A = this chain, B = another copy of it.
Amino acid sequence: MSPDSQEGRTTRILLDGHGGDGAPGIVIDALVQALDKSDSGLVFGIVGRSDLLLPVLRDAGIAEQVELVEAADIIDMCEAPIVALRRKKNSSIHVGARAVRDGYWDALVSAGNTGALMAISMLILKTIPGIDRPALASTIPAVGGGSTFFLDIGANVDCTSEHLLQFAVMGSCYLQAAEGIESPRVGLLNIGSEDIKGTDVVKVAATKLRDSGLNFIGNVEGTDLFGDSVDVVVCDGFVGNVSLKTMEGVAKLILYELKSELTSSIIAKTGALLASGALHRVKDALNPSEHNGAPLLGLNGIVVKSHGSADAHGYLSAIDVAVREVRENLIDITVKTMNAMAET
């Protein structure tokens, strides 16, 4: 932990009781596991409709250990963010974000509607000074057990070079805080390593990154996301989302093909049976649940998005991300970096 970390202080994490495919069951299963880990410095709350949440908390035997925060409205997974933002002002996300803004809770974790979570968090928490828009990030598995931190993965479809620079700051500060990497290597996603490559926005972003004081290593390509040469990769949210969904698609295709190939003959079938432990471990490594917890970065408060289809184990990863962000002072680190950049 850094000298700034809030050692000794209680960390208060609020979970959204609604949203996601298996809420509230999965949220409460994750909560049971989190409480079992018995980190005495952690306090958990759950925000939502108490008539729906309290019985499940009681069934799980944890009603006494969790603070229940009342919120009357529930946002549907397919609801337009703007509608949710305006018409459901007592949603679990609204109430949760206000509680974080007011300092009663240190972080909000939600598996709800991403667009609504982003829009409402932005409205209530605002962004860190100097940051125009929050971004959504993901951790990509890389060779040799490593990983690459990748943003924006869909929050901002149209980006300027200034936005890309801000994403680089957010990603770099996140890795410093959450992973303890001192000077994260930042790459700009492009279609070639040469300076002449890419759109005008990307070319200008490269110039700004070179002057930023960040550890900018230059242009990187789609293949580099899975290597060990870069820690943070930034791009606009359209490109990031397509790339992320391409990964999902390829992984599914490969596992599908392997499965059908491996059951196509008796010999291969026997081989597959003997190798099944290994195959399952690889499948797990590519499972979004294992890498769950997409931080919403750039907000003036900590909000973590859990994948809508994550299981309790995945939801627990998202909780862990929130705890690390709080304890390692992500917001302070980002504010300081933005200030230092503004001064140069």
Report B-chain residues with C-beta under 8 Å of the C-beta of A38: none
Interface assignment of A235: CB less than 8 Å from any CB of chain B: yes
Which partner residue on chain B sits nearest A256 by CB separation? Answer: B143
CB of A250 within 8 A of chain B?
A: yes
Closest to A157 in B: B199
Q: How far is the CA of A224 from the CA of B252 in the complex (A)?
A: 11
Q: Which residues of the other chain, B, contact A225 by a CB distance below 8 angstroms?
A: 246, 249
Which B residues lie within 8 Å of A278 (CB)? 258, 261-262, 264-265, 268, 271-272
Q: For window 244-280 of chain A, which residues contact chain B by CB distance below 8 Å?
A: 244-254, 256-258, 261-262, 264-265, 267-268, 270-279
**Could you say which interface size class chain A belongs to?**
35 or more
How many angstroms between the C-alpha atoms of A264 and B145 in the bound complex?
A: 14
Do the beta carbons of B222 and A241 come within 8 Å of each other?
yes
Tell me whether A250 and B274 are in contact in the complex, defined as CB-CB below 8 angstroms, given that A191-B157, A191-B241 are known contacts: no
Contact string against B for A residues 180-198, beta-carbon threshold 8 Å, 1 for contact and 0 otherwise: 0000000001010000111
CB pair A275–B277 under 8 Å, yes or no, is: no
The answer, among B154, B247, B257, for a CB contact under 8 Å with A285, is: B257
Chain B residues lying within 8 Å of A191, measured Cβ to Cβ, are 154, 157, 237-238, 241-242, 245
Given the known interface contacts A253-B226, A282-B261, the answer about A243 and B243 at a Cβ–Cβ threshold of 8 Å is yes
Would A242 and B245 count as touching, CB distance under 8 A?
A: no
Q: How far is the CB of A329 from chain B (nearest CB, A)?
A: 32
A286 at the interface (CB under 8 A from B): yes
Answer whether residue A221 sits at the interface, using C-beta atoms and an 8 A cutoff: yes
Q: Is A123 an interface residue (CB 8 A)?
A: no
Q: Work out how many copies of this chain go into the complex.
A: 2
CA gap between A196 and B264 in the complex, in Å: 44
* Residue A158 at the chain B interface, CB threshold 8 Å: yes
Q: Is A141 an interface residue (CB 8 A)?
A: yes
**Contact of B262 with A275 in the complex, beta carbons under 8 Å:** yes
- Does B254 contact A281, Cβ atoms closer than 8 Å? no
Chain B residues within 8 Å of A196, by CB: 80
For residue A344, CB closer than 8 A to chain B, the reply is: no
Cα separation A242 to B154 with both chains bound (whole Å):
15
A132 to chain B, nearest CB (A): 17
Output the least CB separation between A112 and chain B (Å). 16
Given A222-B247, A261-B279, A272-B278, 20 further pairs, Cβ under 8 A: A80-B196, A142-B253, A154-B191, A157-B197, A158-B200, A198-B238, A221-B242, A222-B243, A222-B244, A222-B246, A224-B249, A226-B250, A235-B242, A238-B239, A242-B243, A243-B246, A265-B277, A265-B278, A271-B272, A271-B278
| CB<8 Å pairs between A and B, sample of 13 | A157-B197, A191-B241, A191-B242, A199-B238, A221-B245, A222-B242, A222-B249, A238-B239, A246-B246, A246-B250, A247-B250, A257-B285, A271-B272
